Amino acid sequence: MNNSINPTTPNQRPITIGIVAGEISGDTLGAGLITALKQRYPNARFVGICGAQMIAAGGETWFPLERLSVMGLVEVLGRIKELFAIRDELVQRFIAQKIDVFIGIDAPDFNLRVAPQLKQAGIKTVHYVSPSVWAWRQGRIHGIKAAIDLMLCLLPFEKQFYDQHQLKAVFVGHPLADSLPLSNDTQSARQQLALDSQQRYIALLPGSRGGEVGRLAQPLFEAALLLKKQQPQLNFIIPAINNLRKAQISELLAQSGLQAQIFDDSYGAGVGRLVMAAADVVVLASGTATLEAMLLKKPMVVVYKLQWLTYLIVRLMAKAKYISLPNLLANQMLVPELVQGAVTADNISQAVAQGLQPQQQQQLVSRFTELHQQLQANGSQTAAQAICDLLEDK
């Protein structure tokens, strides 16, 4: 249900809010949160690490958001010195500027190392987007409790977990569930991308990070070549969130021999969502994009592949049955998940072919609509109100 929350009378006192996002999805959440908080605190200043959307909403960034966008335990090791330096400078500047509250948006391996130092200095701390502590490394809950005053949860089962461990948590829903309509307009998306309304399109999303793209692009492109042989009428579309990813994807695409259209960020920060909205089936890396695909009511094939050592560590510590958000929300295997060695051209192409079946699509649309409604809770406003209550000691 979409609950309406009207901001209280604006508080005119000047406050400074420290805010750190670590990737594109966090930038989207942060922009909505900044806008909602400004309704309550018109004179607030937002400083820290912001992406383009947060900056447009009024945030001030001290470091490029991309410097935090690292995936995997092993991959982080190569950047650990730089990440520590950024963390230490942020802590020093936040304390020096006497911020009123710190909001870490996702990026838990970074933000949950910033938060405890600030909390020790008497600064209130909030984490927006629960880490997957319910899924793996559950012992982290003790460190989280020591670091965080308030956890903002996007998913209903996350709040239940924190309630069990006596950490203040609020289910805020997901802002995307509020902003996206229950029924997706595929033809409108195709018009924006100048695509043929009568053709069939498969969206390929090998990830937003360089490492992801390097691991996933080849099997995705090989699967597309197989599908093209089986169904010559199929077309393939790929989003690139920035010039770096566009260059990387273009090079790998040329090597593969696949004919596909790449759409870059000239179509806006939500180019990935637009490409998915225009597609009949989406093949994508596990992550927040799987939630977007679900909210767009798109059949999908989820792929997940890490460096082998990272994967072994994750597998040893994992508790959850599923890796994709649609399956986690439904607590059943709604969409296929191909993990590590199962990420092959044959497996992907077979799963896509199944997703193209009309009966399969109809069943998913019905189930995805139910899950969409469960996540509607006026996310940005609900999160902003919870932070306002914390600031005002309510």
pLDDT reported for residue 306: 75
pLDDT reported for residue 322: 83
**pLDDT tens for the chain, residues 1 to 394:** 444 455 667 888 899 999 999 888 889 899 999 999 999 999 999 999 999 999 999 999 999 888 876 544 445 556 788 889 999 999 999 999 999 999 999 888 899 999 999 999 999 999 999 987 765 566 688 999 999 999 999 988 899 889 999 999 999 998 889 889 999 999 999 999 999 999 999 999 998 888 899 999 999 999 999 999 999 999 999 999 889 999 999 999 999 999 999 999 888 768 999 999 999 999 999 888 999 999 999 999 999 887 667 656 566 555 667 888 999 899 899 999 998 899 999 999 999 999 999 888 888 999 999 999 999 999 999 999 999 999 998 6
Query: Distance (Å, rounded) from C-alpha 173 to C-alpha 377?
Result: 5
For residue 104, the surrounding DSSP H or E stretch is strand 101-105
CA-to-CA dists, residue 171 to 160, 296, 378, angstroms: 9, 22, 10
Per CATH, is 16-173+377-391 categorized as 3.40.50.2000?
yes
pLDDT reported for residue 10: 87
pLDDT reported for residue 318: 58
Please name every residue paired with 149 in a beta bridge, in sequence order, or none if there are none.
none
Instruction: Return the number of other C-beta atoms located less than 10 Å from residue 161's C-beta.
Output: 19
Tokens 């910033």 belong to: 114
pLDDT reported for residue 263: 96
pLDDT reported for residue 1: 45
pLDDT reported for residue 9: 78
- Helix, strand, coil percentages, rounded to 5, for the chain: 55, 15, 30
Query: Distance (Å, rounded) from C-alpha 17 to C-alpha 105?
Result: 13
Please name every residue paired with 17 in a beta bridge, in sequence order, or none if there are none.
46, 101
Q: Is 11 exposed, middle or buried (0-12, 13-18, 19+ CB in 10 A)?
A: middle
pLDDT reported for residue 313: 57
Query: Distance (Å, rounded) from C-alpha 305 to C-alpha 214?
Result: 10
Backbone angles phi, psi at 59, to 5 degrees: -80, 155
Instruction: Return the number of other C-beta atoms located less than 10 Å from residue 42's C-beta.
Output: 12
pLDDT reported for residue 146: 93
Tokens representing 140 are 């982290």
* Nearest Cα residue to 32 out of 54, 64, 62: 54
Ordered by start, the domain boundaries in the chain are 16-173+377-391, 186-374
Q: Do the domains 16-173+377-391 and 186-374 sit in the same CATH topology, yes or no?
A: yes
Q: What is the CATH number of domain 186-374?
A: 3.40.50.2000
CB of 336 within 8 A of CB of 301? yes
* Nearest Cα residue to 253 out of 236, 266, 267, 241: 236
Residues 13, 153, 93: CA angle, nearest 5 degrees: 45
The edge-to-edge listing of strands for the beta sheet with 59-61 is 59-61, 45-49, 16-21, 101-105, 124-128, 150-153, 169-171
Instruction: Return the number of other C-beta atoms located less than 10 Å from residue 136's C-beta.
Output: 16
Q: Using CA of residue 175, residue 389, residue 62, residue 210, what is the dihedral sign? A: negative
Q: Across 154-233, where does the E strand assignment appear?
A: 169-171, 200-205
Tokens 């806008």 belong to: 35
Q: CB within 8 A of 273, min separation 6: which ones?
A: 292, 296
Query: Distance (Å, rounded) from C-alpha 299 to C-alpha 352?
Result: 8
SS3 328: helix
3 state SS for 225-294: HHHHHHCCCEEEEEECCCHHHHHHHHHHHHHHCCCCEEECHHHCCCHHHHHHHHCCEEEEECCHHHHHHH
pLDDT reported for residue 133: 73
